[in-house]
Amino acid sequence: MNIEAIYTWKSEVISIFLRYFLLASITYFIFYKWKYKQLISNKIQTYIPDNQQVVREVSYSIITLCIFSFLSYCMFQLYHFGITKIYLNISEFGIGYFIFSIFLSIIIHDAYFYWTHRWLHSFRWTQKIHAIHHQSISPTPWASFSFHPIEAVINFGIIPIIILAIPIHPIALSLFLLIMTLINVMGHLGFETFSSKFIQSKLGQFQNNSTNHDFHHEKYHSNFGLYFTFWDKWMKTFYNPKLMKSNKMDIL
C-alpha cells in the first residue's frame, strides 16, 4: 500500500469532516431520536436542547473544521519540507512502537488539553473566547467542536507538538484523531453510557465520562480533562458529587 498516495491534504480534510459528522450524527440520532425514551433515565441534565442550540453547535463546529483543514495544510507543508517526524514505513520502528505512539499521543494530548482548557477559564478575556463553547450548558454531540475560532487554533496546537516531537505514522495519527473525536463526542453526549458500578470502580474513576464533562458545562470551574481524571484530581479541580468524599476543589 502506497501510504504517500493516500496521505494527502485532501484526504485529511475529508477525514476531518467525516469524523465529526459521522460520530456526532450517529450518537445524536441514537440518543436524541431513536432510543430517546428508552435512554431518558441516563440523561444527565433534565434540560432538553432545542433545534436552535443544535444549529448553533453545528455552525460553530463547521467553522472549527474549516480552520482545522487550513492548519492541516500548513502541517502538510512542514511534512513535505521534511521538518516533521512523520514516517511512512511501519517496519522502521515496528508495530510495538506504532501502537505505543497512539497511547503516547493520548497522554501528551491529555496534559495539553487540561492546561490549555484551564487557561481558557483563567482570565476574563480567555473566558470570553471559551464562552462560545459554554453556550451549550446542556451539550449535545454536535457541541464537540463548537469553538470560537481562536479556541479552534489552540485546540489544533496539539498536532504540531506531536508531529514535531515524536516519530508517528500517518495511520497512527489518524487513529489518535479518531479516538480524540470519539471521546470528545461522548463527553458532550448529555447521556451517561457507563454503568454506575464501572464509574465507581478503580478503572472507572481513572477514565473520564460524560457526567464529569456535563458537570463542567454546568459548573464551569471544574473537570478540565478530556481522556482521564488524574490531572483534575492532582490539581483539585475534579467535581463529581457522586464520587467525591469532599467537594473541596481549587476555583480559578
**Cα gap 225→177, rounded to integer Å:** 17
Could you tell me what percent of the chain has a pLDDT over 70?
A: 95
| C-beta separation of 109 from 177 below 8 A | no
Model confidence at 36: pLDDT above 90: yes
**Cα gap 237→221, rounded to integer Å:** 7
Tens of pLDDT, residue by residue over 63-91, are 999 999 999 999 999 999 999 999 999 99
**Cα gap 5→149, rounded to integer Å:** 31
Please say whether the dihedral angle defined by the alpha carbons of residues 224, 74, 185 and 220, taken in this order, is positive or negative: positive
Q: What is the DSSP string of 157-220?
A: THHHHHHHHS-B-HHHHHHHHHHHHHHHHHHTSSB--S-HHHHTSHHHHHB--HHHHHHHHHHS
Widest Cα–Cα separation across the chain: 55
Q: Confidence band (pLDDT; 50, 70, 90) for 220?
A: confident
Q: Is residue 249 part of a domain?
A: no
Q: What amino acid occupies position 137?
A: I
Quick one: pLDDT at residue 1? 61
Q: Is residue 133 part of a domain?
A: yes
Model confidence at 251: pLDDT above 60: no
**Cα gap 166→98, rounded to integer Å:** 11
Q: Is residue 250 part of a domain?
A: no
Domain span holding position 79:
3-194
Q: Is residue 105 part of a domain?
A: yes
Domain count for the chain, please give it.
1
pTM attached to this predicted model: 0.93
Q: How far is CA 51 from the centre of its chain?
A: 23
Q: Is residue 208 part of a domain?
A: no
The region, left, alpha or beta by phi > 0 then psi within -120 to 50, assigned to residue 248 is: beta
Quick one: pLDDT at residue 135? 96
Q: What is the mean pLDDT of residues 236-241?
A: 87
| C-beta separation of 126 from 133 below 8 A | no
196 vs 180, residue with greater confidence: 180
The region, left, alpha or beta by phi > 0 then psi within -120 to 50, assigned to residue 168 is: beta
Q: Is residue 201 part of a domain?
A: no
Task: Give the C-alpha distances (Å, rounded to integers) separating 73 from 9, 23, 60, 78, 147.
Answer: 6, 23, 20, 9, 20
Q: What is the DSSP string of 32-82?
A: IIISHHHHGGGBSSS----HHHHHHHHHHHHHHHHHHHHHHHHHHHHHHTT
Q: Confidence band (pLDDT; 50, 70, 90) for 209?
A: very high
Q: Confidence band (pLDDT; 50, 70, 90) for 242?
A: low
Q: Is residue 213 part of a domain?
A: no
Q: Is residue 93 part of a domain?
A: yes
Q: What is the mean pLDDT of residues 95-105?
A: 98
Tens of pLDDT, residue by residue over 109-161, are 999 999 999 999 999 999 999 999 999 999 999 999 999 999 999 999 999 99
Q: Confidence band (pLDDT; 50, 70, 90) for 252?
A: very low
Quick one: pLDDT at residue 248? 37
Give the list of residues 6+ apart from residue 31 with CB closer than 8 angstroms, or none.
Answer: 39, 141, 189, 190, 191
